[in-house]
Amino acid sequence: MELFARTQSSAKRSAIASAGGSPAFSLAEVAKLVQPHLEQVDKRIAQQAAAFDPAIEGYVVYTVGSRGKRLRPLLTLLVGGATGMIDSRHIDLAVIVELIHIATLVHDDVMDEAEKRRSQPTPNARWGNSLSVLLGDCLFAHALTLSTNFKNSDISRAIARTAATVCSGEMIQTQRRFDLNLKVEDYLRIVQMKTGSLFSAAAELAAMISEADPNAIETFKNYGFQVGTAYQIYDDCVDLAGTESVTGKTLGTDLRKGKFTLPVLIFLRSASEFERERCCQLVLDEKIEEMIELLKNGANNGALNESIAVGSELIRKAQCAFDGIKPNRYTDALFSLGEALCDMFGQLRV
Amino acid sequence: MELFARTQSSAKRSAIASAGGSPAFSLAEVAKLVQPHLEQVDKRIAQQAAAFDPAIEGYVVYTVGSRGKRLRPLLTLLVGGATGMIDSRHIDLAVIVELIHIATLVHDDVMDEAEKRRSQPTPNARWGNSLSVLLGDCLFAHALTLSTNFKNSDISRAIARTAATVCSGEMIQTQRRFDLNLKVEDYLRIVQMKTGSLFSAAAELAAMISEADPNAIETFKNYGFQVGTAYQIYDDCVDLAGTESVTGKTLGTDLRKGKFTLPVLIFLRSASEFERERCCQLVLDEKIEEMIELLKNGANNGALNESIAVGSELIRKAQCAFDGIKPNRYTDALFSLGEALCDMFGQLRV
């Protein structure tokens, strides 16, 4: 199935996309190209529960079952197709990166005390924090167990290292909560580590499995890195400007937990001395709700649009990299994936 | 250096050990045989902090630095010696199993809200729960990254699988908190999973690295499993009957957190209908302190001694297995390790 006219240069594709005459881009549209493979991934993820002790199988079933966007598997499969033929090792890789992602979500929700995700109660809301910390650990350990099945130990090493990077990024983010001195660059480094790295590994390792040439591996790795970073920026903007009924998750948690995301940091960067000082005082006085109100109002104007521009720019850069790659319908779909993300950004614009 | 007369059959060794004429057994004595290697392990563990982002290096230094008993590294090194020559791969394995252990302790302390470990404030007491959950994740991911350096992927797979088993055991334990229907067998299965499995892997994989024959690998694996299980029983008895000044950690947390350990379960098994019902009522009424008092008093008599007997019996079984193994000073030291644990049990007897 063709998702995009095909094999055009990215400049030409961009022109078409922005001319308004392009087909509607959505993740669901992009996913159609690898739908049977995505279904295999879902089936395989669901099957993983059986690898756990019967006493805890139920928790795993619940947690891996609530269908997310499966963005990382989608990326893995598209890069697999772009660099050769999607085979069972790409499916394995997709399962592993999604399980690592799910494990981090379980821990995120514990830390954020989030009540809902994908319109379902979170594991911590259902079973408490202790059980959820361990559930995350189990999923994590299981994903890394699966990764040792790759014949090439470079792949399992890269996966474990990426998992460490993701957690390190989250740790720095947690360390710098309520830190009004956090810079935009610090924020970007955090999202690169916590999200960019796993997207990057998904793309890079999918190309490695296909035995693509080093240049192509590097190109897809960078594509994953930039798209992943952009996606996290998007997700952070949604937390500030989205609606719960659409996203299916508890929103506004970032600010409440002291996580200053891109729109907030951009606002603070250009805020008046008075606004910054007022913000500091509210943090010191632990008047969190008032601080949220101030920052939310501040960020929900130019700062939100500027954040959207930063994210969209990253995606454009990622798309440009394809100019050096032999095009096929999968590279076209990867290009469209970027368009879909840009469209999602566009919907947040105020 | 010889720790024990040498090369005697386990029956003969047991007779000497119990005759009272044996040398004093202590973990410190046993450790002397591999002291230089243990120091290498400690140095290597401390060096791991440098592998993390500078922003989080300090947390890792603090957490891996508070010297524990290093029981798992000790076991790894002794089995390495017992099956050949201790080489750098045994050191690597010792570092990895200890890091996994430390990671689980970090999460344990979050869940138990423990304030102190090894006489130092726990990570959660110093930096809060969120940061500590992520710190545990980072250590965990790093340990599994290191494990992918083994040429033999069976080893990295076994390590990841063991990590999953440890977490699953902890999860079942958490799931069954305050469950007065927990049986002694359920408890034993939990401690086998959460502690026996990592000791077992430490011993088994050390023997695999030495390319020992399958029978020897199996013997050491079982030895590790039984000694690890016994050690957890000991640790659980300490939580009930130990003193904080000696152990350097917050005690009494098990009961307070609803973890019914062996002495409590043995007490409940033989308790009168009246005592059981009273206990149930206190659980239902959330009168935790009164329940603790009741169970602690109940368990601190025959039930504690019976638990000690169960643990000691496991160690005796583990020691007997050496009859089929060619003895050397390392197998003798492993035998003495069992004696040291039995002595530790003995000190708890009331």
Determine contact: B138 vs chain A, CB below 8 A. yes
pLDDT reported for residue A1 = 32
Distance of alpha carbon A199 from alpha carbon A226, whole angstroms: 8
Residue B2 located in a structural domain: no
pLDDT at A76: 98
The answer to whether residue B61 neighbours chain A at the CB level (below 8 Å) is no
pLDDT digit string, tens, across residues A257-278: 889 999 989 988 888 888 888 8
pLDDT for position B215? 95
Query: Cβ contacts of residue B261 below 8 Å, gap of 6+?
Result: B187, B233, B236, B237, B239, B240, B254, B307
Residue B183 contacts A, CB cutoff 8 Å: no
- Residue at A4 is within a domain: no
pLDDT tens per residue across span A181-237: 999 999 999 999 999 999 999 999 999 999 999 999 999 999 999 999 999 999 999
- Is residue B144 included in any domain, yes or no? yes
Burial (CB count <10 Å: 0-12, 13-18, 19+), residue A128 = middle
Per the CB < 8 Å rule, is B53 touching A193? yes
- Tens digit of pLDDT at every position of chain B (350 positions): 333 333 445 445 544 444 444 446 799 999 999 999 999 999 999 999 999 999 999 999 999 997 788 999 999 999 999 999 999 999 999 999 999 999 999 999 999 888 988 889 999 999 999 999 999 999 999 999 999 999 999 999 999 999 999 999 999 999 999 898 999 999 999 999 999 999 999 999 999 999 999 999 999 999 999 999 999 999 999 988 877 777 776 777 788 888 999 998 998 888 888 888 887 788 778 777 787 777 777 766 688 889 999 999 999 999 998 888 899 999 999 999 999 999 999 988 87
Q: Which chain A residue has the Cα nearest residue B155? A: A148
Query: What pLDDT is attached to residue B7?
Result: 42
Instruction: Please indicate, yes or no, if residue B5 is contained in any of the structural domains.
Output: no
Q: Is residue B1, in this structure, part of any structural domain at all?
A: no
Residues 6 or more apart in contact with residue A58 via CB below 8 angstroms: none
Residue among B104, B142, B172 whose CB faces A56 most closely:
B172
Q: Decide if A5 is inside a domain.
A: no
Residue B268 confidence (pLDDT): 87
At B154, which CATH number? 1.10.600.10
d(CA A148, CA A226): 27
Say if B135 is an interface residue toward chain A (CB within 8 Å). Answer: yes
- Residue in B with minimal Cα distance to A130: B111
Smallest Cα distance from B56 to chain A, Å: 7
Question: What pLDDT shows up at residue A298?
Answer: 75
Q: Report which of residues A328 and B277 the model is more confident about.
A: A328
Dist CA B44 CA B95 (whole Å): 7
Q: CB-based contact (8 Å) between A187 and chain B?
A: no
Q: Does A221 touch chain B (CB under 8 A)?
A: no
Nearest to A151 by CA among B71, B116, B152, B3: B152
Is A156's CB within 8 Å of B161's CB? no
Say whether residue A197 is in contact with chain B using an 8 A CB cutoff: no
Most confident range (mean pLDDT) of A10-19, A148-157, A250-259 is A148-157
Report how many domains make up chain A. 1
B28: domain range? 20-348
**Mean pLDDT confidence for A94-100:** 98
B49 at A interface, C-beta within 8 A: no
> How far is Cα of residue A326 from the mean position of the Cα atoms in its chain?
26
A10–chain B nearest CA distance, Å? 36
Q: Are B168 and A131 within 8 A, CB to CB?
A: no
Average pLDDT, chain B: 89
Q: How confident is residue A341, by pLDDT bands cut at 50, 70 and 90?
A: very high
Q: What type of residue sits at position B32? A: K
- Residue A20, pLDDT score: 43
Distance from CA of A105 to the nearest CA of B (A): 12
Contact A107 B134 (CB under 8 A): yes
- Does A303 score more than 50 pLDDT? yes
User: Is the distance from CB of B250 to CB of B123 less than 8 angstroms?
Assistant: no
Any B CB within 8 A of A157 CB: yes
Q: Is residue B12 part of a domain?
A: no
In this prediction, residue A91 carries a pLDDT of 98
Tokens of A279: 């913000």
> For residue B296, is it within any domain?
yes
**What are B74-99's pLDDT values in tens digits?**
999 999 999 999 999 999 999 999 99
Nearest to A36 by CA among A77, A80, A92: A77
* B324 vs A84, more confident: A84
- Model pLDDT, residue B109: 93
The pLDDT tens digits of the residues spanning A14-70 come to: 444 444 444 457 999 999 999 999 999 999 999 999 999 999 999 999 999 977 889
Q: If pLDDT is split at 50, 70 and 90, which confidence band does A300 have?
A: low
Please measure the distance between the N-terminal and C-terminal CA atoms of chain A and give it in whole angstroms: 35
A134 touches chain B (CB under 8 A): yes
What integer pLDDT is reported at residue B24 of this predicted model?
60
* A131–B110 C-beta distance less than 8 A: no
Q: Residue A23: what pLDDT?
A: 45
Give the helix ranges, DSSP H, for chain B.
Answer: 10-18, 27-31, 35-47, 54-65, 71-82, 88-112, 123-127, 129-147, 153-175, 184-191, 197-209, 214-241, 244-247, 253-256, 262-270, 273-284, 288-298, 304-320, 329-348
In the predicted structure, residue A124 carries a pLDDT above the cut 70: yes
- Contacting residues of A for B141, CB less than 8 Å apart: 140, 144, 160-161, 163-164, 166-167
